[in-house]
């Protein structure tokens, strides 16, 4: 009997669909024991506040890690939904390329792990013997490694362009002020304003014409 081993190796086995990126993020936060807003504060302390405040090579390295990790998550999500083996394999090839870049960035930190006891719980501590030049950078790298499932929650505000940690999956703005400001001068608002002014001018013109007719009739 002819057996095509190569075809077997390239064909996905039928299996239960893996969880989506959104589901993995929710599960990660649940396992962490932190509520979403607590996780947001943790992200702010370790990554967001420093990235927004500083302008340096170390910040650029952290943002590169964030960008590459987000690309990898996006490709993984495409692979999860790929309807054919060919598309799945294409995603796999792209993922290998992106992950090669991501790992090349991470390898420079020469990270080691140490287990410590705080209170009655065991915690991991990351020790960096190379790469990172300051404590803020090492803290940011440690947070990203520890919470890779949440990297898609690190975003830039659609209004002010500041970095923030999204409390909800659909959040686009860092706060209510930016959300309201964007709504006040966003394209959708401007289009509504243009439509309103066009209708107003037409109605005003019609009203003036009626008034002129009435005046002539008298």
What does the pLDDT look like over 22-36, one tens digit per residue?
A: 888 888 888 888 888
What is the reported pLDDT for 185? 74
What pLDDT sits at residue 16?
64
What is the structure's pLDDT at 1?
38
123, 115 contact by CB (below 8 A)? yes
Residue-level pLDDT at 29: 85
Q: How far is residue 138's CA from residue 108's CA, in Å, rounded to a whole number?
A: 12
Confidence (pLDDT) at 3: 45
Q: What is the predicted pLDDT for the residue at 132?
A: 54
CA distance 129 to 146: 18
Residues in the chain with pLDDT values less than 50: 1-14
**Helices assigned H by DSSP within 45-186:** 49-53, 57-81, 85-107, 135-146, 176-185
Beta-bridge partner residues of 128: 111
Predicted confidence at residue 5, as pLDDT, reads 44
Helix (H) / strand (E) containing 212: helix 187-217
pLDDT for position 155: 95
Q: What is the pLDDT of residue 40?
A: 92
């Amino acid at each position: 009997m002819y057996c095509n081993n190569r075809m077997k190796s390239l064909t996905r086995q039928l299996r239960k669909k893996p969880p989506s990126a959104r589901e993995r993020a929710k599960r990660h936060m649940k396992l962490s024991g932190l509520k979403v807003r607590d996780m947001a504060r943790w992200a702010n302390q370790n990554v967001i506040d420093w990235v927004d405040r500083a302008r340096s090579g170390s910040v650029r390295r952290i943002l590169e890690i964030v960008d590459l990790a987000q690309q990898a998550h996006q490709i993984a999500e495409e692979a999860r939904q790929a309807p054919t083996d060919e598309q799945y394999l294409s995603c796999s090839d792209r993922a290998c390329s992106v992950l090669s870049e991501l790992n090349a960035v991470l390898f420079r930190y020469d990270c080691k792990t140490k287990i410590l006891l705080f209170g009655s719980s065991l915690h991991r501590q990351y020790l960096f013997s190379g790469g990172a030049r300051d404590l803020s950078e090492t803290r940011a790298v440690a947070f990203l490694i520890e919470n890779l499932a949440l990297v898609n929650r690190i975003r830039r505000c659609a209004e002010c362009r500041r970095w923030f940690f999204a409390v909800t999956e659909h959040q686009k703005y860092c706060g209510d002020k930016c959300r309201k400001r964007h709504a006040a001068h966003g394209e959708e608002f401007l289009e509504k304003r243009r439509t309103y002014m066009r209708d107003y001018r037409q109605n005003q013109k019609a009203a003036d014409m009626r008034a002129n007719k009435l005046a002539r009739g008298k």
